[in-house]
Structure 1
Amino acid sequence: MTHTSSTPWSVADIPDQTGRTVIITGANSGLGAETATALAARGAHVVLACRNTAKAGEVAARIGDKATVRALDLADLDSVRAFAGTVGGADVLINNAGIMAVPLRRTAQGFESQIGTNHLGHFALTALLLPTITDRVVTLSSGLHQLGRIDLGDLNWERRRYRRWQAYGDSKMANLMFGLELAERLRAAGSAIRSQIAHPGYASTGLVGHTETLLDPIAKLGARLPIAQSAADGALPTLLAATAPDAESGRFYGPTQLFGLRGAPGRSGYNARARDRAIREGLWRESERLTGIDFDVMGTLA
C-alpha cells in the first residue's frame, strides 16, 4: 500500500503488521503508548521498553497478548546493555522515550540527564540492537531541535552554565543528527535498513507542563487550546515513519500544518545546522567515547 499525497495519512493507512515485532522505548504513556496501541491493532507484537514497568504493564493490559513489557532505563547504560541482551530480533526499533527541560541532573554514568537519556541512551541501544533489526530505526526528535547547538567540547554541561531548554534543544538536535547520520552510514554500508526521524508537533502528552518552570502553566493552557493535538495525533508521524512502505531513509516526518505544530503527518523541514557533517561525525565519535561502544555500522551489519 503506497500512500498518496492527495489524502491525509492516518492510522487507516498503516499496513498489516502481522508477524512483525516493534520495540518502542518509553511506551508506558503518551506518544509511546499511542504508537504501541496503534501498531498492535494492526497485528504487530510490541515490546514496551520502559523504566516504569508498572505503568507499561497497564498499557500492555489494555493492548492484550500482542504486548510485552521489558525493563529499560535509558539513563543507565548497564540497563541498556541488559535489555539488549534479553530481547531477540525485531523488525523496527522506535527510539521514542525522552525527558524535557528538567533541572540539572546526572545519569548513572554522569551524563547530563537530557543528552544522556534522549540521545546517548538511544545511541547505545541502537548500536547494540542494529544487528537484529530487519527493517528500520525511527528516532524521535522535536520541533525544538531548532534551539540545538551541539557543543562537542561540553556535551554534558560540565563547564557551561546550565540552561534546561537549551539542553533539551541540544538533545533533540542530537536525535535528529543521529538519525540522519545513521541513514547515511547504512546507505554507505549497502544496507536496506532505513533510519527515519519523526517529531510530534505540539502534542498533549505527559511531558507538557512538567518542566518545573514558570512556563508550565502556559504549556498546560496551550495543551487545552486548538493549537495542541492529541497524543494519538502526535504519534502519527512516528507511525508513518515506522510503517509506510514509501517512507524514505534519512527523512524527517512531522505534522504539516500550523508551522509543523499540528495536522496530518508528512515530510518536515529542519534546521540547516543538522546537515553539518563535521558536527554530525564529531557527535558520533563523542557518543562512542562517552558510551564506550564502537558503533561501526559497516562492521555491525557484516
Structure 2
Amino acid sequence: MSFTDVFFGFLPYFFHSQLLIKVPYPTTDCTGRTIIVTGANVGLGKETARHYVRLNAEKVILACRSAEKGENARREIESSTGRAGVCEVWSLDMADYNSVKEFAKKTRSLKRLDSVVENAGILTTNFKEVAGNESTITVNVVSTFLLALLLLPKLRESGRQHNVTPTLTIVTSELHYVTAFPERKAPSIFDTLNNPKEARMSDRYHVSKLLEVLGCREIARQHSVSQTGVTINLVNPGWCHSELDREMSSPVIRFVKNILCRTTEMGSRTLTLAGVAGPETHGKYLSDGHIMKCAPLVEGREGPEMQRRVWAELAQQLESIEPGVTKNVAA
C-alpha cells in the first residue's frame, strides 16, 4: 500500500471507525442454534461467545487451547448471562494440525452446527517454525482454512436438515490494508514467507490477515453459496483491548490504546453480527457491522491473480495435510 493510500485512505477511515462508530448491539435470536467460537477463553472470542449465549443459542462451544482457561471463561459467561449448561469447552490447538483434525471429527457428533467464528490467532515478531511453516502462517492461515474446510460438510448437512444457510466467519483485520505484500512477487509466496532470512516479521501479522482475505475471496469467487451451502465471510473487529498484542506491550502503546482502542465487548459485536449474517455477505469483508471494500491491493488490478495464486499454494498445503480436504468446499 502506498503512502498516499495509507494517509488519505486508510487513516481517515481508521480514526473515524475507532473514535466515532458505535457498532450495533446484536439482537438476532439464536434459539436452537449451535455455534463454535475459537479462541474463546479470552478477549474477543469470550465476549462473542457471551453474546451468543445471551441471544439464546442452544449450545456454544468454546474452542480453546487451554482447558483451564476455557472452563474459567465458561463459568464467567454462565454467571453473567444466567444460562447454565449452554457452553461446552473443547480442546483446540491451532498450532497442531492433528488437534484441528480431531476437533473437526468431534463435531460430527453434534446434533447440528449453525455457525463457526474462527477468531483464534497469534501476533508475534519472533520467527519460529511450527508444523512446516512460520508460526503465524501456521496458526492464522493454514490451520484456519484447514478447520474451515473440515467443518464445511457438517455445516452444510445442518443447513439441509434445518432449511437454513449456516455461516462460517474468519476474523481478519483492517491491518491487511497496510502491507505492501512484496512476497507476492516471489516464485513461491509461502516458501518466501517461511524463509527466516527473508521474513519481515514486523509485517507478518498484517500479511497473514491479507492471506485470509485473499483465500476467502477466491473460495467465494469459485463457489457460490448455492454450491458451498454455507456463507463464508470475513470480519474486522477494529483495534480492541485484547491479549493479542501482549508481546508488544509498552507504556507508549498502552497510552495510545487507552485513547484509540475499542472495548473488547464493542469489538465482539462485529464478530457476533458476522456469525449470523446471511448469504449476501458471502466472500465479503465486514467492518463495523457492514460490508466494506478490502484494501486497494486486493480490489485493484493485481487482486484477482494474487488471490488465485495464494489459494492455489494454500490449497496445495491443505491437501498435503489432509488429502481431499479441498473438495469439501462444494457439495
TM-score in same-fold range (> 0.5): yes
Give 1:42's aligned residue. 55
Q: Is the 8 A contact 1:104 1:164 kept in 2?
A: yes
Q: How far apart in 2 are the matches of 1:100 and 1:47?
A: 24
Give 1:142's aligned residue. 173
Larger CA deviation: 90-99 vs 268-277: 268-277
Give the alignment's TM-score, normalised by structure 1: 0.85
Is the partner of 1:14 in helix, strand or coil? coil
Give 1:70's aligned residue. 90
| C-alpha spacing 1:295/1:218, structure 2 compared with 1 (3 Å) | farther
Q: CA deviation at 1:110?
A: 2.4
Q: How far apart in 2 are the matches of 1:199 and 1:113?
A: 21
Q: Is the 8 A contact 2:107 2:154 kept in 1?
A: no
Q: CA deviation at 1:217?
A: 3.2
Q: CA deviation at 1:247?
A: 5.4
2:220 is the alignment partner of 1:183 = yes
Q: CA deviation at 1:296?
A: 3.3
Q: How far apart in 1 are the matches of 2:255 and 2:51?
A: 27
Give 2:138's aligned residue. 116
Give the alignment's TM-score, normalised by structure 2: 0.78
Give 1:83's aligned residue. 103
Name the amino acid aligned to 1:83: F
Cα deviation digits, residues 15-50 of structure 1 (max 9, x gap):
110111111111110110010000111111211111
Give 2:317's aligned residue. 290
Q: How far apart in 1 are the matches of 2:124 and 2:204?
A: 7
Query: Between Structure 1 and Structure 2, whose CA radius of gyration is higher?
Result: 2
Give 1:238's aligned residue. 271
Unpaired segments ≥5 residues, structure 2: 1-20, 79-84, 160-165
Name the amino acid aligned to 1:98: G
The 5 A counterparts of 1:237-276 are 237-245=270-278, 248-255=281-288, 265-275=289-299, 276=303
Give 1:93's aligned residue. 116
Higher relative contact order, structure no. (Cα contacts within 8 Å, ≥ 6 residues apart): 2
Name the amino acid aligned to 2:292: S
Larger CA deviation: 265-274 vs 37-46: 265-274
Give 1:14's aligned residue. 27
Name the amino acid aligned to 2:103: F
Is the partner of 1:235 in helix, strand or coil? helix
Higher helix share: 2
Q: How far apart in 1 are the matches of 2:264 and 2:192?
A: 30
| C-alpha spacing 1:142/1:123, structure 2 compared with 1 (3 Å) | same
Q: Is the 8 A contact 1:138 1:196 kept in 2?
A: yes
Q: Is the 8 A contact 2:225 2:279 kept in 1?
A: no
2:169 is the alignment partner of 1:132 = no
2:129 is the alignment partner of 1:106 = yes
2:308 is the alignment partner of 1:281 = yes
Give 1:61's aligned residue. 75
Q: How far apart in 2 are the matches of 1:90 and 1:188?
A: 17
Name the amino acid aligned to 2:88: T
Larger CA deviation: 242-251 vs 279-288: 242-251
Q: How far apart in 2 are the matches of 1:203 and 1:83?
A: 28
Q: CA deviation at 1:62?
A: 2.0
Q: Is the 8 A contact 1:52 1:71 kept in 2?
A: yes
